[in-house]
């Protein structure tokens, strides 16, 4: 097991599923782990306490933020920068699927706001801390759902076309991969690496935020999936393994690089996405 003593890691969406297991594993390896949590302060205290007790590592802290809110992402980044001198690992993991169209407090379609803009803005705001680390790693948890995604540049928020939960989800997961590639390119020549991954089909709370028949379908889907332990493996590998030091701009599955969709490699589209995202978050 890698030794992460002295490393500072931020894991978003760490109250459940893949994120929680990833935070646990990083804490087990001795890292200081900041878990970003949103909805339920009691649940978040329970998770912090459980990880501390189970790993014997007291350096686990929760920072609450609703990552669908731009203002809360900014407050979170400020709090982190005020508290910690650098950031060694940023694991962008929080994500969800919404089977009916919802909008964030900023009036942005929820899947785009939470799954993509939060990765984009949080990474941007923490860049100075990432640069202060000897060789920071940024990891975007995407999904093979991106293979079916397209970025509808004229309507990313499903304002003019009929909303599709899967369409919005696969679009956001494609954006996670393209963001990783565009950022890796920008950081070429620096020690910071940026990679994206597919965790597999994992039995988590994913999708259960939806009611009715969709919520039941997601629960059923849970029977055909791998455990959160297995689902967290690639995230933890990218965060900690010495053999991926210096590897950047790749898409991983089962701890190995694999090709992502053809659309994800379109550099012009990556740059267009970058400009659109920067505009939407007010950079």
Ligand X SMILES: NC(=O)c1ccc[n+]([C@@H]2O[C@H](COP(=O)([O-])OP(=O)(O)OC[C@H]3O[C@@H](n4cnc5c(N)ncnc54)[C@H](OP(=O)(O)O)[C@@H]3O)[C@@H](O)[C@H]2O)c1
* Residues that bind ligand X in the complex, under the rule CB under 6 A: 13-19, 37-40, 66-68, 93-96, 114, 141, 143, 198-199, 201-202, 204-206, 225
Residue 25 or 133 with smaller CB distance to ligand X? 25
Among 84, 163, 169, 265, which one carries the catalytic annotation? 169
| Cβ nearer to ligand X, comparing 114 with 244 | 114
- Would you state the torsion angle of the CA atoms of residues 236, 238, 242, 248, taken in this order, to the nearest 10 degrees? -170
Q: Please state the length of the chain.
A: 283
Name the β-bridge partners of 140. Answer: 92, 196
Identify the helix (H) or strand (E) that includes residue 201. none
Is 169 annotated in the active site? yes
Read off the tokens for 147.
């293979």
Determine the 3-state secondary structure of 255 from DSSP: coil
Nearest residue (CB) to ligand X, 63 versus 132: 63
Helix (H, G, I), strand (E, B) or coil at 20: helix
Q: Cα 260 vs. chain centroid, distance in angstroms? A: 17
β-partners of residue 12 are: 36
| 158 vs 169, beta carbon nearer ligand X | 169
Q: According to DSSP H, which parts of 90-189 are helical?
A: 110-111, 118-125, 127-132, 165-186
Which residues are tagged catalytic? 169
């Amino acid at each position: 097991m890698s030794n992460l003593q002295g490393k500072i890691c931020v894991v978003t969406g760490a109250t459940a599923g893949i994120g929680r297991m990833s935070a646990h594993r990083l804490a087990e390896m001795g890292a200081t782990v900041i878990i970003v949590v949103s909805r339920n302060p009691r649940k978040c205290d329970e998770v912090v306490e459980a990880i501390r007790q189970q790993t014997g590592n007291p350096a686990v802290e929760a920072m609450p933020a609703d990552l669908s809110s731009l203002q809360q992402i900014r407050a979170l980044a400020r709090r982190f920068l005020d508290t910690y001198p650098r950031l060694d690992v940023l694991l962008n993991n929080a994500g969800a699927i919404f089977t009916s169209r919802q909008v964030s407090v900023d009036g942005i379609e929820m899947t785009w706001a939470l799954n993509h803009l939060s990765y984009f803005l949080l990474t941007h705001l923490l860049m100075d801390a990432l640069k202060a680390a000897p060789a920071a790693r940024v990891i975007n948890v995407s999904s093979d759902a991106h293979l079916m995604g397209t970025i509808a540049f004229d309507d990313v928020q499903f304002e003019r076309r009929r909303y599709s939960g899967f369409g919005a989800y696969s679009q956001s997961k494609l954006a996670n991969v393209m963001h990783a590639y565009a950022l890796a390119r920008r950081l070429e020549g620096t020690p910071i690496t940026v990679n994206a991954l597919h965790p597999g089909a994992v039995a988590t709370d994913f999708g259960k935020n939806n009611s009715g028949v969709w919520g039941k379908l997601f629960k059923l889907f849970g029977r055909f999936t791998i455990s959160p332990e297995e689902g967290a493996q690639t995230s933890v590998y990218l965060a900690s393994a010495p053999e991926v030091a210096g590897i950047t701009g790749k898409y991983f599955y089962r701890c190995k690089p694999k090709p992502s969709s053809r659309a994800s490699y379109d550099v012009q589209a990556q740059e267009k996405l970058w400009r659109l995202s920067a505009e939407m978050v007010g950079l």
